[in-house]
């Protein structure tokens, strides 16, 4: 890929390892009995979608989830629920990103919410004490753009904002529908499997 200048990464399932089942367990623990129906690995529904597409603020989500749980949930309770998704933040991947940054512009495009990003963009993100922003040129999140992947709108927002040329851009995501949309927009794509060490495959592609 000689013309490649930009690499766009998904967050959950690519940069960090995730487990939907662990998240369901955490939400059930804080009192959300039907978490299993509400949570999806790639695309949320109901309340969980509304906080990811920016319809609800973190505080509105906390209040509505409290009503679902039938008890008052604190911000910390809800954060612990969301962080149930995050099973591991592999430092070897983050070190690899720093190597990639010497040659490429790196971006995040993620369906996520203010709870997870509040944690990821703080020093609590890794044992190295560096926030997610340290590793990327810019982070694009669904709740800030008010669009979720695989909707074309969130891709177009990033392309315009970062002045990306799709044929100079590689999109890395573990979600098949997201990969499909990136291809339709003219990007190169790579679909790793959540939990795998994808560095060698990506290096070979580059």
List residues with catalytic annotation: 10
User: Among 76, 70, 83, which residue's Cα sits nearest to residue 112?
Assistant: 83
Contact 194/174 with Cβ under 8 angstroms? yes
Strands 17-18 and 6-9: unpaired
Cα separation, 108 vs 7, in Å, equals 9
CB neighbours of residue 130 within 10 Å: 15
* Euclidean distance between CA atoms 202 and 82, whole angstroms: 28
Residue 93 contacts by C-beta under 8 Å, 6 or more apart in sequence? 15, 197, 199
CA atoms of 113 and 25, how far apart (whole Å): 19
What angle (nearest 5°) sits at the alpha carbon of residue 164, between those of residues 161 and 169? 135
How many CB atoms sit inside 10 A of residue 192's CB? 18
Determine how many CB atoms are found less than 10 A away from the CB of residue 152.
Answer: 12
């Amino acid at each position: 890929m000689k013309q490649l200048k930009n690499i766009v990464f998904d967050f959950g399932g690519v940069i960090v390892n995730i487990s939907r089942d662990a998240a369901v367990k955490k939400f059930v623990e804080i009192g959300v009995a039907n978490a299993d129906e509400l949570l999806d690995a790639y695309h949320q529904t109901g309340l969980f979608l509304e906080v990811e597409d920016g319809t609800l603020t973190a505080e509105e989500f906390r209040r509505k989830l409290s009503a679902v749980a039938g008890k008052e949930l604190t911000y910390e309770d809800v954060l612990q629920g969301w962080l149930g998704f995050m099973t591991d933040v592999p430092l070897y991947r983050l070190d690899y990103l720093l190597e990639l940054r010497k040659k490429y512009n790196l971006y995040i495009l993620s369906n996520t919410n203010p709870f997870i990003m509040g944690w990821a963009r703080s020093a609590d993100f890794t044992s190295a004490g560096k926030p997610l922003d340290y590793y990327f040129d810019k982070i694009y999140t669904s709740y800030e753009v008010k669009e979720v992947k695989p909707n074309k709108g969130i891709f177009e927002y990033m392309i315009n904002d970062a002045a990306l040329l799709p044929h100079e851009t590689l999109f890395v995501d573990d979600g098949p529908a997201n990969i499909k949309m990136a291809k339709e927009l003219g990007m190169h794509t790579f679909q790793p499997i959540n939990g795998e060490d994808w560095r060698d495959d990506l290096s070979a592609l580059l």
